[in-house]
Amino acid sequence: MKPNVILPAFVLSLTACSTEPLLGEQPANLLELEVQGLSFVGPDTIKSGWTTIRVNNTGGMTHHALVYRLPDGITAEMVDEQIVEPIQRILTAAIGGDTEKAAEIAATIPAWVGDLVWMGGPGMMSDGVTGEATMYLEPGNYILECYVKTDGVQHNYNPEPGEFGMMLPLTVVAEDGGMAEPDANVTLTLTNSGYEITDGAFRAGDNDVRVKFEEQRLYNNFVGHDAHVFRIDDDTDVDAAVRWPDFFPTEGQQTPAPARFVGGIHDMPQGATGYFKLDLEPGEYGITAEIPDAAKNGFFKRFSVDTD
Ligand SMILES: [Cu+2]
């Protein structure tokens, strides 16, 4: 861990596991969560295999929902105490200008942070947006988390001892949910040099986006590239929006977001494929990643959606 690295905290609250039969577009293995204050509310158990995680964000601000798998022997309490809480103290020290203290705290973060496996989850969603991502999840223990910052406090951090913030422990059980791999109208392929639309096209209305993580790498020893979509209106500060998901700077992911984020998917391992939904009005959009210097690293792509 680089001593000057500011790590995000993760917090989320989720709800809902259902195994209802397929009804039209209804996913068969769906975990549906609500945002209430700074928590995810909903079920905490889901069957394995293809799994849809939906977050209805009516919480009044931008959130997201990274899903990651815990290595054997690591509990949500350990993540909260040994990673989330120190990262908040690093952020607080950095905001106060005490980089020495921030570096001291960073040195205490356990090496097993590198064994957490980022497994997608709904990307940046502004207030009023429903985020939905579908991933293939093996049985195990996971956490779903939002680490957006508000007034210098990460949403996953809860100062109350023993209480989680936007951090929902999730159990993926051995029984397979039986859901088929989703279809998609557009495929976005991520390599180490950026985004490429390799099949189909974005369209007005509902989009099912396939994301192929053909290549993946770590930035600042911590995050991989991913995809977050925002709307570009005439008055949108595009540069600020492209930079916003980078959580390393103290102002990164600080609310309010400089643009309307309409969905996406968090990073997944090299070789993985994930899916997310977008509901797009005609207009201009950008895709950016939660990494340092996203544009310089190739991770900013504009696209237009025409009226059908
Ligand atoms: Cu949040």
Per-residue buried b or exposed e for 213-235, using 16+ beta carbons within 10 Å of the residue's own CB: beebeebbebbbbbbbbbbbeee
Quick one: 162 and 195 in the same domain? no
Quick one: 126 and 69 in the same domain? yes
Residue 81 lies in domain: 30-176
pLDDT above 80: residue 289: yes
pLDDT above 70: residue 13: no
Residue at 14 is within a domain? no
Give 76 Cα–ligand 1 centroid separation in angstroms.
Answer: 18
- Average pLDDT over the chain reads 92
Distance, CA of 247 to CA of 46 (rounded, Å)? 29
pLDDT above 70: residue 91: yes
Number of domains in the chain: 2
Res 276: pLDDT: 98
Give 46 Cα–ligand 1 centroid separation in angstroms.
Answer: 22
- At 215-259, the pLDDT tens digits run 999 998 899 999 999 999 999 999 999 999 998 999 999 999 999
What mean pLDDT comes out for the span 83-96? 96
Residue 24: pLDDT band with limits 50, 70, 90: low
Quick one: 237 and 115 in the same domain? no
Quick one: 152 and 110 in the same domain? yes
Which of 169, 168, 136, 179 is CA-nearest to residue 20?
Answer: 179
Decide which of 145, 176, 207 is a domain's last residue. 176
Residue at 223 is within a domain? yes
Distance, CA of 13 to CA of 145 (rounded, Å)? 7
Give 11 Cα–ligand 1 centroid separation in angstroms.
Answer: 6
Nearest 5°: the CA angle 249, 255, 260 is 110
Ligand 1 is a single-atom ion; what residues have CB below 5 A from it? 63, 146, 148, 155, 166
Quick one: 169 and 34 in the same domain? yes
Give 64 Cα–ligand 1 centroid separation in angstroms.
Answer: 6
Res 22: pLDDT: 47
Residue at 12 is within a domain? no
- In the structure encoding, which two tokens stand for residue 155, read together? 């949403």
Percent of all residues in the chain with a pLDDT value above 70, rounded to a whole number: 91
Give 22 Cα–ligand 1 centroid separation in angstroms.
Answer: 30
Res 307: pLDDT: 87
Quick check: helix, strand or coil at residue 159? coil
Quick one: 165 and 208 in the same domain? no
CATH number at residue 91: 2.60.40.420
Residue at 235 is within a domain? yes
Quick one: 34 and 170 in the same domain? yes
- At 153-190, the pLDDT tens digits run 999 999 998 899 999 999 999 999 999 999 999 999 99
Give 154 Cα–ligand 1 centroid separation in angstroms.
Answer: 8
Residue at 7 is within a domain? no
Quick one: 160 and 249 in the same domain? no
Decide which of 119, 142, 176 is a domain's last residue. 176
Res 285: pLDDT: 98
Residue at 5 is within a domain? no
Q: Could you tell me the pTM of the whole model?
A: 0.90
Res 27: pLDDT: 60
Is residue 143 within 8 A of residue 8, CB to CB? The reply is no
Residue at 118 is within a domain? yes
Give 168 Cα–ligand 1 centroid separation in angstroms.
Answer: 12
pLDDT above 60: residue 19: no
Residue at 252 is within a domain? yes
Residue with tokens 């040994």: 82
Give 66 Cα–ligand 1 centroid separation in angstroms.
Answer: 10
Give 198 Cα–ligand 1 centroid separation in angstroms.
Answer: 31
Decide which of 154, 176, 198 is a domain's last residue. 176
Give 113 Cα–ligand 1 centroid separation in angstroms.
Answer: 21
